[in-house]
Amino acid sequence: MTPELFTPLALRGLELRNRIVVSPMCQYLAVEGAVQDWHYRHHARFALGGVGTAFVEATAVTRDGRITHGCTGLWEDAQISGLARIAAMYREYGIAPGVQLGHAGRRASAARPWEGAQPLAVDGPDPAWPTVGPSPVPEREGNPVPRELKVAEIEGLVDDFRAAVRRARRAGFDVVEIHGAHGYLIHSFFSPVSNRREDAFGGSLERRMRLPLLVAEAVRAEWPA
């Protein structure tokens, strides 16, 4: 273990007291995107541990962008207060609070891991909702086919990220992370496997990168230096 792990780290205008980071861990226990007491207690354990920064789990920028019915969200103002409570707790213990923002894309509408993590049934106890993606290509054979997003809808999703970032600032977070992996929406636009479009958002690497870059630019514009 290197001594640098315990030294401060400057990130633009933010200084972390050390380089230990608590990664975002999905709990799948939110109610309509709102965090519960469980989430507060989950994060309280890390607040007492002396880390440099800690992230709240993958938080959806739209209701349909959740992975499961139990995922957290920042698509409406009512979800700010619960997250603000967690952020304030971290700040109290000298830890920079962070939040991960994302959209599950074609991997949305899934059961919780302990319920199998498979696509939900339309008539199940937790009903499925339609998924979206860059192209009508399911994640695997037999999975629901996502609806191909129209250009206006893609541009609207960039605005959804922008609005979620504003709410994250109001909640008191110091760091925001864009979820661009795991086959979720941003990743699926980047990949030629899932992106079969022939318009400005598909085809060449440059065009497949357009949505990820637009989201990054929107987030950067809303976030303090």
Tell me whether residue 184 is one of the annotated catalytic residues: yes
From 40, 90, 93, 184, the catalytic residue = 184
Note the maximum CA span of the chain.
Answer: 55
- Chain CA centroid to CA 111, Å: 17
Question: Which DSSP string corresponds to 26-78?
Answer: -----BTTB--HHHHHHHHHHHTTT-SEEEEEEEESSGGG-SSTT-EE-SSGG
DSSP string, 160-187: HHHHHHHHHHHHT-SEEEE---TTSHHH
Q: How far apart are CA 220 and CA 170, in angstroms?
A: 16
Classify each residue of 192-222 as buried b or exposed e, where b means 16 or more C-beta atoms within 10 Å of its C-beta: eebbebeeebbeeeebbebbbebbbebbeeb
Which residues carry out catalysis? Answer: 184
